[in-house]
């Protein structure tokens, strides 16, 4: 994670405006300066620099993919990332899940009055760096300031547009019996990193979020002509929710093995302490891929060349067309249902 | 993971299972008392490794499940009041009272906070002198020392804005109540290891003798549970009824003396109603007179009320081991973790919730066919 050098670079005179005021969203001179000096400066690119009400751009021939997501994570800064980098990674990843090459993002900020200007600048710099690393441009945006107490510091919405440079139908409905289930790395780091910070839990080692963009290995798979049936990024609800949604959409039975699922020892320990199932815990830089059995070796070889998917492994397979069901074989070799979590994950009493 | 993976070893589990198969000659009904053990049994499929003659009965050892509906209603009433910060362990938040739950009270503006230790509630009370801070004190002997420590510290600090809604329960009286019931089918118990880590297992000797039941103090990992079952079956097959300790790495006969002393200092033994079972004499903890000022019930002038459980719910029979979750007509259809009818569906440690999560009726055959 690149940490922006925000302290030296914040272009607004901090001494004058150490916090965001209502006037920064009021349409007048202060708002103009905020847009020009903070967002305009950080995100600068030819399309944004036209300062028009809407960005105009040419579209390539073929299909486009579009997605939107809102980011409300608390705390704003967490080990391994922040709301800004996450707002880029999450939307880039959603585009990547249809095999799209991400092109453009929008960014809409809802800022609570009183947010330290340094905090905003730090988030904006983090977004800038993440977008640059992902090869996407932020081409239009919006800023609103809400009264103190009517927001929670900062919310960000990003919408993304990408182009599909393939003719595959990458979708949950396309999962076939016999497909291998590949997970792109160890699970549960984002959820446990956030929970540890939010709840003031101290473990021996700091768990860092896995927040990252995963489009590069996927675009390489597509370039190599891999037959991908389905991709799904593992966010809230974790692997369990993703597999259940896919089983339902495809009308298949999916079976995975607990022993095959990669989980780091510190994440595993934190889950044990809190009584959480790591298969239900959120991730921000992990995806699951369904590919035909004969493609497994070549797909794994490509995924493992990239740091973000370097620990990709097969964890199970789609068994047959049947009523939707996901099962997991326990470490003792007995299979059970893997259900979606009922609601928010709540630590057990004992 | 160190000290964990060793107790989940598949080969060793198979060896335990084979030995249990080898020595079992007759049907036996064994109750695991604790919800944590139920969870491990269903999650790892331990019961499927056992001979058909051995039936595991899931006991009443889930603190969330046995907290009476009226106490939950009282919690909801306090939490909804302005000027109150209501603190609780996480899994009480989803438990429905008669009309709503703590998550909904929070959504409507109540200041409801999840904490991981009762001592955090004391800290919150210190930091918010203008607010009334209430902790929902539930659980077995396992959590009682931490609850007692919170009360003790609050008293030492002279906090006037801290209190507890208490529904602490005790395991041995529940075992006694189960064994003295004429319907009781339980022939042996796996006692809850964590409870015994605090209390020791001296209390179980009179019970084993009086009711002629083997009681084996058992841990929570798959190998612990299998080893506990093996020791139990060895006793049953040889006609013994003794107290044994499988969980030697955490439990000794006398338990944790300083924890017990603190509990005795702050609490007294009182009759307590268990959800789904009814009142059991001498089965709960209430505050001693010296600490009575920290009791939220009189402080908030709560009135005792009696609330009826939904008539279709068989949670009481399940907690007594007389029915299995899937034998309930509403299990998995109208009664689900999102819309629980009764005690055993509400907590992740409840028997119904564990069955729902890991093996819904009908689906299980398909799971088994893999």
3-state secondary structure B116-139: CCHHHHHHHHHHCCCCEEEEEEEE
Look up residue A56 and give its two tokens. Answer: 């105009």
Q: Inter-chain contact A349–B357, Cβ cutoff 8 Å?
A: no
Q: What is the pLDDT of residue A178?
A: 97
Distance from CA of A343 to the nearest CA of B (A): 8
Distance from C-alpha of A323 to C-alpha of A7, rounded to nearest angstrom: 56
Q: Inter-chain contact B138–A349, Cβ cutoff 8 Å?
A: yes
Q: Inter-chain contact B357–A339, Cβ cutoff 8 Å?
A: yes
Q: Inter-chain contact B366–A253, Cβ cutoff 8 Å?
A: yes
Say whether residue B45 is in contact with chain A using an 8 A CB cutoff: yes
Q: What is the pLDDT of residue B142?
A: 94
Is residue B45 assigned to a domain? no
A-chain residue closest to B65, CA distance: A349
Tell me which chain B residues have a C-beta less than 8 angstroms from the C-beta of A199. 114, 116
Is residue B146 assigned to a domain? yes
Q: Inter-chain contact B338–A253, Cβ cutoff 8 Å?
A: no
Q: What is the pLDDT of residue A297?
A: 97
Say whether residue A325 is in contact with chain B using an 8 A CB cutoff: yes
Q: Are B171 and B192 contacting, i.e. CB atoms less than 8 angstroms apart?
A: yes
Sign, CA torsion A320/A323/A326/A329? negative
- Full domain range(s) for residue B265: 66-170+255-299
pTM over 0.80: yes
Q: Are B282 and B269 contacting, i.e. CB atoms less than 8 angstroms apart?
A: yes
Q: Inter-chain contact B367–A265, Cβ cutoff 8 Å?
A: no
Instruction: Closest CB to A346: pick one of B8, B13, B93.
Output: B93
Instruction: Closest CB to A335: pick one of B1, B45, B138.
Output: B45
Which residue has tokens 């999560």? Answer: B357
Q: Helix (H, G, I), strand (E, B), or coil: what is residue B73?
A: helix
Say whether residue B114 is in contact with chain A using an 8 A CB cutoff: yes
pLDDT in tens, A68-118: 999 999 999 999 999 999 999 999 999 999 999 999 999 999 999 999 999
Is residue B95 assigned to a domain? yes
Tell me which chain B residues have a C-beta less than 8 angstroms from the C-beta of A325. 363, 366-367
Is residue B242 assigned to a domain? no
Tell me which chain A residues have a C-beta less than 8 angstroms from the C-beta of B114. 199, 346-347
Residues 184-223 of B with CB under 8 A from A: 194, 222
Q: What is the pLDDT of residue A3?
A: 42
User: What are the distances in angstroms from CA A113 to CA A279, B46, B215, B301?
Assistant: 38, 55, 62, 40
Distance from C-alpha of B34 to C-alpha of B218, rounded to nearest angstrom: 10
Instruction: Closest CB to A337: pick one of B13, B92, B363.
Output: B363
Distance from CA of A262 to the nearest CA of B (A): 12
Is residue B341 assigned to a domain? no
Residues 46-85 of B with CB under 8 A from A: 46, 48-49, 63-64
Q: Are B220 and B194 contacting, i.e. CB atoms less than 8 angstroms apart?
A: yes
Distance from CA of A43 to the nearest CA of B (A): 37
Q: Inter-chain contact A337–B358, Cβ cutoff 8 Å?
A: yes
Split at pLDDT 50, 70, 90, the class of A348 is low
Instruction: Closest CB to A350: pick one of B43, B93, B194.
Output: B194
Tell me which chain A residues have a C-beta less than 8 angstroms from the C-beta of B194. 350
Split at pLDDT 50, 70, 90, the class of A4 is very low
Q: Where do runs of H (alpha helix) occur along chain B? A: 10-23, 35-44, 63-66, 69-79, 102-107, 118-127, 144-156, 171-180, 193-199, 204-211, 222-237, 257-266, 296-299, 315-319, 343-346, 351-358, 363-368
**Count of C-beta atoms within a 10 Å radius of residue A281:** 28
Distance from C-alpha of B312 to C-alpha of B345, rounded to nearest angstrom: 13
Say whether residue B368 is in contact with chain A using an 8 A CB cutoff: yes
CATH number at residue B266: 3.40.50.11740
Residue B127 CB contacts under 8 Å (≥ 6 apart), including other chains = none
Is residue B20 assigned to a domain? no
A-chain residue closest to B43, CA distance: A336
Query: At A325, phi and psi to the nearest 5?
Result: -160, 140
Tell me which chain B residues have a C-beta less than 8 angstroms from the C-beta of A262. none
Count how many domains chain B has: 1
Tell me which chain A residues have a C-beta less than 8 angstroms from the C-beta of B103. 343-344
Residue B301 CB contacts under 8 Å (≥ 6 apart), including other chains = none
Give the up-direction half-sphere exposure of residue A324: CA atoms within 13 A in the CB hemisphere. Answer: 17
Say whether residue A329 is in contact with chain B using an 8 A CB cutoff: yes
Instruction: Closest CB to B360: pick one of A253, A337, A348.
Output: A337
> Parallel, antiparallel, or unpaired for β A230-233 and A287-291?
antiparallel
Residues 249-308 of B with CB under 8 A from A: none
Query: At A63, phi and psi to the nearest 5?
Result: -95, 150
Distance from CA of A275 to the nearest CA of B (A): 10
Q: What is the DSSP letter of B184?
A: -
Q: Inter-chain contact A350–B44, Cβ cutoff 8 Å?
A: no
Instruction: Closest CB to B44: pick one of A268, A275, A330.
Output: A330
Say whether residue B139 is in contact with chain A using an 8 A CB cutoff: yes
Q: How big is the A-B interface in CB pairs under 8 Å? A: 102
Q: Are A201 and A283 contacting, i.e. CB atoms less than 8 angstroms apart?
A: no
Cα dihedral B311, B312, B318, B319, rounded to 10, equals -30
Distance from CA of B195 to the nearest CA of A (A): 10
pLDDT in tens, A156-213: 999 999 999 999 999 999 999 999 999 999 999 999 999 888 877 777 778 999 999 9
Q: Inter-chain contact A336–B222, Cβ cutoff 8 Å?
A: no
A-chain residue closest to B137, CA distance: A349
Question: Percent helix, strand and coil across chain A, each rounded to 5?
Answer: 35, 25, 40
Split at pLDDT 50, 70, 90, the class of A340 is confident
Distance from CA of B171 to the nearest CA of A (A): 14
B-chain residue closest to A332, CA distance: B10
Distance from CA of A100 to the nearest CA of B (A): 36
- pLDDT for A216 beyond 90: yes
Q: How far apart are the first and last CA of chain B?
A: 28
Residues 267-306 of A with CB under 8 A from B: 268-269, 272, 275
Specify the CATH superfamily of domain A6-164: PurM-like, N-terminal domain (3.30.1330.10)
E strand segments, A278-323 = 287-291, 313-321
Is residue B273 assigned to a domain? yes
Q: What is the pLDDT of residue A346?
A: 66
Instruction: Closest CB to A350: pick one of B8, B92, B139.
Output: B139
Query: How would you write the pLDDT of chain B (370 residues) with one tens digit per residue?
Result: 566 778 888 999 999 999 999 999 999 999 999 988 988 998 899 999 999 999 999 888 888 888 888 999 999 999 999 999 999 998 888 888 888 889 999 999 999 999 989 999 999 999 999 999 999 999 999 999 999 999 999 999 999 999 999 999 999 999 999 999 888 889 999 999 999 999 999 999 999 999 999 999 999 999 999 999 999 999 999 999 999 999 999 999 999 999 999 999 999 999 999 988 889 999 999 999 999 999 999 999 987 666 777 778 888 888 777 888 888 989 988 998 888 887 788 776 788 888 888 876 444 433 333 3
Q: Could you tell me what percent of chain A has a pLDDT over 70?
A: 93
pLDDT in tens, A320-338: 999 999 999 998 999 999 9
E strand segments, A185-337 = 230-233, 252-257, 287-291, 313-321, 325-329, 335-337
Distance from C-alpha of B150 to C-alpha of B121, rounded to nearest angstrom: 8
Query: At A157, phi and psi to the nearest 5?
Result: -115, 135
Give the up-direction half-sphere exposure of residue A209: CA atoms within 13 A in the CB hemisphere. Answer: 29
Q: Inter-chain contact A343–B45, Cβ cutoff 8 Å?
A: no
Distance from C-alpha of B68 to C-alpha of B304, rounded to nearest angstrom: 12
Q: What is the pLDDT of residue B342?
A: 78
Q: What is the pLDDT of residue A9?
A: 59
Say whether residue A205 is in contact with chain B using an 8 A CB cutoff: no
pLDDT in tens, A147-168: 999 999 999 999 999 999 999 9
Q: Inter-chain contact A347–B143, Cβ cutoff 8 Å?
A: no
Domain A172-337 bears CATH identifier 3.40.50.20: no
For residues A310-321, give the mean pLDDT.
97
| Model ipTM over 0.85 | no
């Amino acid at each position: 994670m690149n940490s922006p050098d925000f302290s030296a670079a914040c272009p607004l005179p901090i001494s004058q405006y150490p916090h965001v005021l209502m006037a920064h969203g009021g349409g007048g001179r202060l708002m103009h300066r905020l847009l020009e000096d903070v967002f305009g400066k950080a995100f600068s690119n030819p399309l944004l620099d036209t300062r028009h009400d809407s960005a105009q751009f040419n579209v390539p021939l073929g299909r486009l993919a579009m997605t939107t997501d809102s980011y409300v994570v608390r705390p704003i800064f967490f080990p391994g990332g922040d709301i800004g980098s996450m707002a880029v990674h999450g939307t880039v990843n959603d585009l990547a899940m249809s095999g799209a090459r991400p092109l453009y993002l929008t960014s809409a900020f809802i800022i609570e009055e009183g947010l330290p200007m340094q905090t905003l600048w730090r988030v904006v710099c983090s977004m800038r760096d993440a977008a640059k690393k992902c090869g996407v441009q932020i081409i239009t945006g919006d800023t609103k300031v809400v009264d103190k107490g009517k927001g929670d510091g900062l919310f960000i919405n990003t919408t993304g547009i990408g182009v599909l440079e393939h003719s595959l139908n990458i979708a949950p409905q396309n999962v076939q019996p016999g497909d291998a289930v590949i997970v792109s790395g160890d699970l549960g780091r984002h959820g446990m990193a956030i929970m540890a910070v939010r709840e003031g839990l101290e473990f021996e080692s700091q768990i860092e979020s896995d927040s990252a963009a995963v489009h590069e290995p996927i675009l390489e798979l597509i370039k190599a002509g891999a037959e991908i049936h389905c991709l799904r990024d593992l966010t809230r609800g974790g692997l369990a929710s993703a597999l259940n949604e896919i089983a339902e959409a495809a009308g298949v039975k999916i079976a995975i093995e607990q022993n095959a699922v990669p989980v780091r020892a510190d994440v595993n320990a934190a889950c044990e302490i809190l009584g959480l199932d790591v298969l239900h815990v959120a991730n921000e830089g992990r995806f699951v891929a369904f590919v035909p059995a004969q493609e497994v070796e070549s797909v794994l070889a490509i995924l493992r060349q990239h740091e973000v998917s370097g620990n990709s492994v097969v964890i199970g397979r789609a068994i047959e067309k049947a009523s939707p069901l996901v099962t997991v074989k326990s470490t003792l070799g007995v299979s059970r249902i893997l259900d979606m979590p009922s609601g928010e994950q709540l630590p057990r009493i004992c | 993971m160190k000290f964990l993976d060793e107790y989940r070893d598949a080969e060793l589990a198979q060896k335990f299972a084979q030995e249990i198969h080898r020595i079992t000659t007759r049907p036996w009904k064994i109750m695991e008392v604790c919800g944590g053990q139920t969870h491990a049994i269903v999650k790892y499929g331990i019961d499927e490794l056992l001979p058909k003659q051995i039936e595991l009965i899931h006991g009443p050892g889930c603190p969330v499940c046995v907290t009476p509906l009226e106490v939950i209603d009282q919690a909801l009433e306090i939490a909804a009041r302005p000027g109150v910060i209501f603190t609780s362990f996480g899994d009480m938040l989803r438990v429905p009272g008669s009309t709503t739950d703590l998550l909904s009270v929070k959504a409507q503006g109540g200041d409801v906070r999840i904490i991981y230790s009762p001592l955090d509630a004391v800290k919150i009370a210190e930091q918010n002198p203008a607010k009334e801070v209430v902790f929902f004190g539930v659980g077995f002997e396992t959590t009682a020392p931490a609850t007692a420590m919170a009360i003790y510290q609050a008293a030492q600090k002279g906090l006037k804005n801290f209190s507890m809604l208490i529904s602490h329960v005790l395991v041995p009286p529940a075992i006694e109540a189960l064994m003295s019931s004429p319907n009781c089918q339980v022939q042996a118990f796996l006692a809850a290891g964590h409870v015994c880590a605090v209390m020791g297992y001296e209390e179980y000797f009179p019970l084993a003798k009086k009711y002629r039941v083997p009681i084996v103090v058992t841990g929570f990992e798959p190998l612990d549970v299998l080893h506990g079952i093996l020791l139990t079956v060895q006793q049953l097959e040889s006609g013994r009824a003794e107290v044994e300790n499988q969980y030697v790495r955490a439990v000794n006969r006398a338990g944790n003396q300083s924890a017990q002393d603190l509990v005795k200092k702050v609490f007294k033994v009182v009759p307590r109603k268990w959800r789904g079972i009814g009142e059991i004499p001498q089965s709960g903890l209430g505050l001693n007179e010296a600490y009575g000022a920290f009791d939220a019930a009189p402080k908030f002038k709560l009135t005792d009320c009696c609330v009826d459980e939904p008539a279709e719910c068989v949670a009481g029979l399940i907690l007594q081991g007389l029915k299995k979750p899937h034998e309930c007509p509403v299990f998995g259809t109208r009664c689900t973790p999102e819309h629980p009818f009764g005690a055993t569906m509400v907590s992740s440690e409840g028997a119904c919730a564990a069955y729902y999560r890991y093996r819904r009726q009908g689906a299980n055959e398909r799971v088994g066919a893999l």
